[in-house]
Structure 1
């Protein structure tokens, strides 16, 4: 049975992991007969957003690992606890946390950097030639992790696609139900809620991505 790591970035679309995307990832992995282990960096969030009003909660701070534990029902590990030989691949759901906590793309765009503990975690899979799936906005990290020309998609947002290309990636437009596969680099991406209008649309692309990651792990 394959075992896949799932990297979370908090809990909640505006300041952490997109919860629908995270749960659909876990569901798709289970339906496909794979095991999973959730991980998150033990770092502070960029900020906390009130998901009812959409406003930043001034003076409030939360920890990414502690918040991500909500989605994982407490069954989660810090990224520093990774034992790479135990895993066949990695999937990274989106949500603004991927662009605020895992990296700082939301703030600096094409000048972004990946948080050190996150970079080390993902790079272990890249260096080990293990497949990685990037969902929603998470693909903006691809050019920082792979050699120039790595292929990926965030859907069809021209500004984000331009930033992806400026960083050295090769962006490919895709519809909500599509996946983009870079066979050479063993990576897969799908737009999910970058384009999805409902949970069913998001599920289609995420399920395809999970199945492809598992097939690349063969």
Structure 2
């Protein structure tokens, strides 16, 4: 049975992992006959968003690992414990947490950097030539992990794509139900909720991504 490491970035589209994307990913992994383990960095979130009002909480702070445990039903490990030799594939769902907690693309798109633990884990898979899947805004991480010229997609948003391309991503426009495969680096990307207007739309691309990235392993 192939084993997948999934990196989460909290719980909630506006300040953590996109919950639908994360759950659809875990479901797709199981449906493909593989197993998964969730990981998250043990760090404070960039900020906390009230998902009912969309407002930033001025008094609340939350931990990315603790919040990720909500999605993983408590079964999540500190990212520092991730060992690449134990897994065949890496998958990173999106949500603003990927752009606020795993890196700071949402805060400084012109000069963004990636969390050191996330970088170490993702580069370990890249150096081991193990496949990886990134969805939604998570492909913003790719040019900080892989060499210049890595192929990927965040959908069809030219402005966002150009900001990531400035770091070295070769962006491919892609519709919600499709994927972009960089065979040279064994990286698969899909737009998910960068374009999806429903869970069914998001699932179409996510299912393809999971199937494709497992096939590369």
> Which bin holds the TM-score, normalised by the shorter protein?
over 0.9
The 5-angstrom pairing of residues 199-210 of structure 1 reads 199-210=199-210
Q: CA deviation at 1:118?
A: 1.0
Q: CA deviation at 1:59?
A: 1.7
Q: Does 2:92 match 1:124?
A: no
Secondary structure, counterpart of 1:201 in structure 2: helix
Counterparts of 2:87 and 2:176, CA distance in 1: 28
Question: Unmatched 5+ residue regions in structure 1?
Answer: none
> What is aligned with 1:31?
31
Q: CA deviation at 1:110?
A: 3.3
> What is aligned with 1:9?
9
Counterparts of 1:117 and 1:60, CA distance in 2: 24
Q: Does 2:149 match 1:172?
A: no
> What is aligned with 1:214?
214
Question: Unmatched 5+ residue regions in structure 2?
Answer: none
Counterparts of 1:52 and 1:185, CA distance in 2: 40
Cα deviation 1:178-213 (Å, max 9, x = unaligned): 100000010000000000010000000000000011
How many residue pairs get aligned? The number is 217
> What is aligned with 1:183?
183
Q: CA deviation at 1:169?
A: 1.1
TM-score between both structures, scaled by the size of structure 1:
0.99
> What is aligned with 1:151?
151
Cα deviation 1:69-95 (Å, max 9, x = unaligned): 000001100111012111001110000
Secondary structure, counterpart of 1:142 in structure 2: helix
Secondary structure, counterpart of 1:114 in structure 2: coil
Cα deviation 1:96-124 (Å, max 9, x = unaligned): 00000000000111311001111111111
> What is aligned with 1:139?
139
Provide the alpha-carbon RMSD of the alignment: 0.6
Q: Does 2:103 match 1:103?
A: yes
